[in-house]
Structure 1
């Protein structure tokens, strides 16, 4: 269930307009819908979608080109004051996304681009061990599922320690919102000291917001620009 194929991203020009096209067999029209939702319903800097096309089993998403450099490129040479400002920007934008709510309480949690019975594996980058994921709706059910997976995948960890970890990761009062869930430095575009775009929403998911920190990429953890927690081990 865990998808490994890499999408292609290219800069192109069409009728005098510079834009970016993302395409491939793993690209989904749903990602374009997520971009549109994020742009129209939040204050987060999400690229505009110009159009979506399908050619055989490949999907093409044509979107706004936003000039700048990635946070990954800039981070080593950025002073502490600018880092703090960028962090404030990032938290503000992510909170704006998190404020979005699923269409209904019965909406399955997990990655939006995946089928309902693969959404959780897609969100948490889990290798397939079961024929399908359970359909989980709501924060309480999500907590229960995470606890079950932790106990099953980390057999050397005491059950009481798992419960403490779950309480730390996903407080009971957590509401479900839209999370980017791939928020590493390469997916943040910066210009003139400000974040001007969040890109690459292929892992976007309905989930409790605190889960976003736990599933961010290793590059972001190494850069230490948010309190990431590594909480899932893939050992069977």
Structure 2
């Protein structure tokens, strides 16, 4: 192996020591992942057959400048490696999330045409400004019409699976943790004049999920809960079979005078990872998928979870809606009271 590596390095002309090291590491990785060199590549050092370029590590110079991203002490794979070898964890509309093992490290890569660096910036903002557990961000890269974000892999199970394994006291503990995290998140108030949407003002994904990057905003630059309510009033009343009385009932929940605060924008059980290694002491390991996050009216947390709860998804979703609503008493909680949130969601 060492002789072959030396021969390969002898063939490199003008690419610099960084690429040379990358090739060495790629050849080592090829053995780890089961690549078998052809006889020609072993015997003819002058014209070596490199493994597929997907195996080469990502050139660090391709990473976008993201303030707060953690520089890893391991190599990052190319997006093509994630697409080719990663285990798909989820996704949709052309965007996917992969669990990837590379350079002896497990990480998560999220990418596609609907992904933006704003999600990475939101994740970093929450990680650095709150005690809410979120994955570290290792970097962001563009490839073609797509953006790829490299995240820390956080071990845990979805909230849905967690509640199936835990006792009621343990489940209550998890929901109490979540409520405290939401209180901390919503306590971060937007500076005056902040435009509703992502931290950089580039999108309003909480309203129109996975918009095309060429037209990322759903509406103009609204800067208050009142102007947001007015926007939805106009669009709601333009629909058939709607009335001013019906809108008044919805608007009562929208808090026209409320400040814009930091929200997640897509709370549901699959975006909440719980550690259940100790069944008596479970804890929220991470809240993930911050692509819809930013500064919005606080009521924006309701529609995603209310829509799923009223759609009969699972008990975990019902309980999560209860947490978002800040209701501790299960007996007095009625999810139908949040039908208004699904009516607003229809406007999105």
Asked whether the two chains share a fold, i.e. TM above 0.5, the reply is yes
Match of 2:286 in 1: 197
- Structure 1 unmatched runs, 5+: none
Aligned pair partner of 1:24 in 81, 87, 112? 112
Query: Secondary structure of the equivalent of 1:124?
Result: coil
For 1:25-44, list aligned pairs within 5 A: 25-44=113-132
CA distance in 2, matches of 1:149, 1:32: 31
How far off is 1:33 after superposition?
A: 0.6
- Structure 2 unmatched runs, 5+: 1-91, 212-216, 277-281, 323-337
Match of 1:185 in 2: 269
Q: Identify the structure with bigger relative contact order (alpha carbons < 8 Å, sequence gap 6+).
A: 1
Q: Per the alignment, do residues 233 and 55 of structure 1 end up closer, same or farther by CA in structure 2, a change over 3 Å counting?
A: closer
How far off is 1:185 after superposition?
A: 0.6
Match of 2:242 in 1: 157
Superposition TM-score, scaled by structure 2 size: 0.57
Q: How many equivalent pairs are there?
A: 224
Q: Which runs of 4+ in 1 moved over 6 A?
A: none
Give the conservation status (yes or no) of the 8 Å contact 2:206–2:300: no
Q: Does 2:197 align with 1:110?
A: yes
CA distance in 2, matches of 1:28, 1:187: 18
How far off is 1:126 after superposition?
A: 8.0
For 1:197-216, list aligned pairs within 5 A: 197-216=286-305
Give the conservation status (yes or no) of the 8 Å contact 1:51–1:63: yes
Q: Per the alignment, do residues 214 and 172 of structure 1 end up closer, same or farther by CA in structure 2, a change over 3 Å counting?
A: same
How far off is 1:42 after superposition?
A: 1.1
Superposed CA RMSD: 2.8
Match of 2:221 in 1: 135
CA distance in 2, matches of 1:65, 1:186: 15
Query: Secondary structure of the equivalent of 1:95?
Result: helix
Deviations 1:185-232 (A, max 9, x none): 100000032111000111113211122112337445543122453222
CA distance in 1, matches of 2:200, 2:96: 17
How far off is 1:160 after superposition?
A: 2.3
Deviations 1:32-73 (A, max 9, x none): 111110100111111110111122222111111110100122
How far off is 1:115 after superposition?
A: 3.7
Match of 1:65 in 2: 153
Q: Per the alignment, do residues 79 and 231 of structure 1 end up closer, same or farther by CA in structure 2, a change over 3 Å counting?
A: farther
Give the conservation status (yes or no) of the 8 Å contact 1:31–1:113: no
Q: Per the alignment, do residues 56 and 113 of structure 1 end up closer, same or farther by CA in structure 2, a change over 3 Å counting?
A: farther
CA distance in 2, matches of 1:217, 1:52: 32
Q: Per the alignment, do residues 188 and 100 of structure 1 end up closer, same or farther by CA in structure 2, a change over 3 Å counting?
A: same
